[in-house]
Amino acid sequence: MEKTTQSPEALEATLSTLILSIASSAAMSMGLAPNPASGKIEKDLNLARFNIDLLTMLSEKTKNNRTADEDRFITTILQDLKMKFIQN
């Protein structure tokens, strides 16, 4: 197993980290960012839609249980991803 040089703080599991991870997957699936494994732009709109739906479900399930910053973050990310999906 390879050792990591990151500090424990860099690996903190937070709602914002989860949101960003799913959003990054959606962006890659829309061809907005290269796949880090291959370095290539790959488009899979079904996967992009799944990730957007996953974030929407997460938003609904965590409603009234988020900080104001988390609330703004997930709302902004979802709006941005939905607009980009429509333009795709």
Q: What percentage of the chain exceeds 70 in pLDDT?
A: 89
Q: Is 85 exposed, middle or buried (0-12, 13-18, 19+ CB in 10 A)?
A: middle
Q: Which helix (H) or strand (E) holds 85?
A: helix 68-87
Over residues 31-53, mean pLDDT: 93
Do the Cβ atoms of 54 and 60 come closer than 8 Å? Answer: no
pLDDT for 36 equals: 85
- Between residues 3 and 65, which one has the greater pLDDT? 65
| Global confidence as pTM | 0.82
pLDDT for 19 equals: 96
Binned at pLDDT 50, 70 and 90, residue 9 comes out as low
